[in-house]
Amino acid sequence: MDKLSVSLISVLTVSLLHMLIPSHWLCFVVVGRAQRWSTRKTMGVAAAAGFLHVVTTVALGVAIAFFGRSFIADEETMEKANPMILIGLGLLYLVIHLLHAGHHHGKEGHAVTEKAAFAALLFSLVLSPCSAAIPLLVAASTKVTWILLIAGVLLVTTVGGMLLLVGLTSLGIEKLQFAFFDRYEKLIVGLVLCTLGALVFLIHHH
């Protein structure tokens, strides 16, 4: 098996396993529900974030190739920013819940603007490059065609995996009617996002 095949299989495996991390897809589901987004819109936001996630990861690999592995220090900085964004958005939802005393106010209760929710979800994923193995594989690639192939595999697995998980979970939630969730949705969303952020933070520090 040649070097390119090994790299592609490695990227495919790492990417698929990486996409199972809840912070890469569950946050889109819960925020989409809280913002009253349709499943299609939630999936669209997830796809946009996934695409930029891939661009960031490949760009990091190219940067490592040009500037050396010391550039990974910037990756560590971005990984620290990712859980902070999730926790920050979660705290915002918790504050909104407390201000509204847990009552359901329909669209009037949407104190988190659509742009703010979209930006937070986008940057939480963009600032969280995949496992360091992928940027290093990109950096080790000696041909532009190899980098493009790796990027293609990463794009298909990342965006495809996110769309599958976000779509199925969103559709499942839509079919279930939870009066409790409708009343305390912002409390639940806030707790979920804070928990996801805390877990990501702990994972990156062990």
- State how far the Cα of 18 lies from the Cα of 53, in Å rounded to an integer: 12
Least confident of 44-53, 104-113, 153-162, 192-201: 104-113
pLDDT, one tens digit per residue, over 57-111 is: 888 888 877 776 555 555 555 566 667 777 887 888 788 778 765 444 444 444 5
Report pLDDT for 206. 56
More confident residue, 174 or 147: 147
Going by C-alpha positions, the residue among 190, 124, 160 that lies closest to residue 43 is: 160
What's the pLDDT score for residue 9?
Answer: 86
Give the residue, 139 or 54, on which the prediction is more confident.
54
The most confident of the ranges 45-49, 91-95, 106-110, 130-134 is 45-49
The yes-or-no verdict on residue 184 having pLDDT over 90 is no
pTM value? 0.73
CA distance 86 to 120: 7
**Residue type, position 120, single letter:** A
> Positive or negative, the Cα torsion across 32, 193, 177, 184?
negative
* Tokens at 21, concatenated: 């991390």
Work out the average pLDDT over 29-58.
90
Residue 109 is predicted with a pLDDT of 46
**Region 180-195 average pLDDT:** 76
Amino acid residing at 71? F
% of the chain surpassing 90 pLDDT: 13
The predicted-structure confidence for 16-34, as pLDDT tens digits, reads as follows: 877 777 777 888 998 888 8
Give the torsion sign (CA, 158, 159, 160, 161): positive
Measuring CA to CA, how many Å separate 81 from each of 100, 106, 125, 135?
Answer: 29, 32, 10, 18
The residues spanned by each domain of the chain are 3-204
Of 195, 21, 173, the closest CA to residue 91 belongs to 195
| Average per-residue pLDDT for the chain | 77
Based on its alpha-carbon atoms, the radius of gyration of the chain, rounded to whole angstroms, reads 18
**Chain centre to alpha carbon of residue 176:** 24
